[in-house]
Amino acid sequence: MFDIMIIALLIILIFLLFILSKRLIKTITIFQYERGVKFHKGKFQEFVGPGKYTYFTSTTHLEIFDMRPAILPLNGQELLTADNISVKISLAVKYQILDPQALISEYQNFQDYLYMSIQFKLREVISSIEMDELLKSRQKINDDVRNLLLEDKSLIGVSIHSVDLKDIMLSAELKKVYSEVLKAKKEALS
């Protein structure tokens, strides 16, 4: 009877130690395309490259960043042109993380910050041009937004590779007006 109690106690003790070790010790794998930033007691300690790492969660924190180029979509941004016409624009921005430590120290959430920066730059560009120019010069809009992002000194640790205007969506009434204008132009040329 006494032996069964000791064995049961040992099993419970081993189980508790296993659970405690799982909570205090963490193993993580960083892949070839990722980089880690290691903090020990809240202070930057080092960059860590690809490999398998084991650390104590109570004193160490490891933040992992994917270093491959990524695409951030901005879908259906409703904006006003310089001639006060409302349009919905979708945009895709290709970016890449260059400095993971800068992202951690400069931004609470760098993706939200990047998204808002792109959104503000897009609004700035669209509000400065008229509807006809918007429909004619997609590449100019891409270049203008990209240049504004590259000039923005608050974007630290990120490289902007490209900006691509995906869609320009017009309201049903505006589509109808433009189709009538195009039809009138074709009839005038005939």
- pLDDT (tens digit, 9 = 90+) per residue, 22-57? 778 888 999 999 999 999 998 989 999 999 998 888
Residues 58 and 108 grouped into a single domain: no
Q: Each residue of 113-158: pLDDT tens digit?
A: 999 999 999 999 999 999 888 888 889 999 999 999 999 988 999 9
The Cα-based distances of 76 to 126, 129, 143, 147, 150 in angstroms read 14, 18, 19, 22, 23
Residues 10 and 22 grouped into a single domain: yes
Residues 39 and 92 grouped into a single domain: no
Q: How many domains are there within the chain? A: 2
Residues 32, 49: contact at Cβ < 8 Å?
Answer: no
| pLDDT at 190 (0 to 100) | 65
Q: Each residue of 84-95: pLDDT tens digit?
A: 888 999 999 999
**pTM exceeding the 0.95 threshold for the entire prediction:** no
Enclosing domain of residue 86:
70-178
Residues 122 and 173 grouped into a single domain: yes
Residues 80 and 155 grouped into a single domain: yes
Asked if residue 122 is part of any domain, the answer here is yes
Asked if residue 187 is part of any domain, the answer here is no
| Helix (H) or strand (E) segment spanning residue 27 | strand 25-30
Length of the chain: 190
